[in-house]
């Protein structure tokens, strides 16, 4: 049986922290499905099609990573892909309460799917898409935080 994990998020935009988590998760799982969510509760900077394209670009060198649109409950997407794990990143204690609530509701809907939490590498513990967008908005240097293609899109967006 393959160990398949779904990694859901808005990825607006995908950062080097997201990529680090994906790479490290590939040491544990046979396949990672990166599920890019629309998230109507947020006002994304990039449309979903562009976010999916950027994620595909960033993970293109990793053959055991697939990218898809998340337009349903994550547990339903996981079942469709025969995934038995939902992968989530925890940067700080502030993330923990929300993530535990999500894990609990997902487990109540689909007990066969587990949530697994990974903390970021030290270099990315502070990094978030919101922080990256703020740096870009103020024309700061992005090279350490995002893939060059993402950097190009951010610079274009804030011209």
Q: What is the pLDDT of residues 11-30, one digit of tens each?
A: 999 999 999 999 999 999 99
Question: Which residue stretches of the chain have pLDDT < 50?
Answer: none
Of 62, 81, 91, 157, the active-site residue reads 91
DSSP string, 104-149: HHHHHH-TT-EEEEEPPPGGGTT--HHHHHHHHHTT---TTTS-HH
Per the structure, how many domains does the chain have?
Answer: 1
pLDDT for the residue 91: 83
Of 42, 137, 139, 152, the active-site residue reads 42
Q: Which residues of 29-43 are buried (b: 16+ CB within 10 A; e: fewer)?
A: bebbbbbbbeeeeee
Of 18, 31, 88, 133, the active-site residue reads 18
pLDDT for the residue 42: 75
pLDDT for the residue 131: 95
Q: How far apart are CA 146 and CA 15, in angstroms?
A: 5
Q: Which range of residues forms the domain containing residue 109?
A: 4-157
Tell me if 30 sits within 8 A of 67, measured CB to CB: no
pLDDT for the residue 117: 95
Q: From residue 122, how far is each of 19, 109, 143 by CA, in Å?
A: 14, 33, 17
Q: How far apart are CA 80 and CA 59, in angstroms?
A: 21
The yes-or-no answer on residue 42 being catalytic is yes
The yes-or-no answer on residue 129 being catalytic is yes
CATH of the domain at 131: 3.40.50.620
pLDDT for the residue 96: 86
The yes-or-no answer on residue 91 being catalytic is yes
């Amino acid at each position: 049986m393959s160990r398949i994990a779904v990694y859901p998020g808005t990825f607006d935009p995908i950062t080097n922290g997201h990529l680090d988590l994906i790479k490290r998760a590939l040491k544990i799982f046979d396949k990672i499905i990166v599920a890019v969510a629309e998230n109507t509760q947020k006002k994304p900077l990039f449309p979903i099609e562009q976010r999916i394209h950027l994620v595909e670009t960033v993970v293109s060198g990793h053959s055991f990573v697939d990218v898809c649109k998340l337009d349903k409950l994550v547990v339903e997407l996981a079942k469709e892909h025969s995934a038995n794990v939902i992968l989530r990143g925890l940067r700080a204690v502030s993330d923990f309460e929300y993530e535990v609530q999500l894990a609990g509701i997902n487990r109540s809907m689909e007990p066969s799917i587990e949530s697994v939490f990974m903390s970021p590498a030290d270099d990315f513990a502070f990094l978030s898409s919101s922080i990256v967008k703020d740096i870009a908005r103020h024309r700061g240097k992005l090279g350490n935080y995002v893939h060059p293609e993402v950097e190009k899109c951010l610079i274009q967006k804030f011209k």
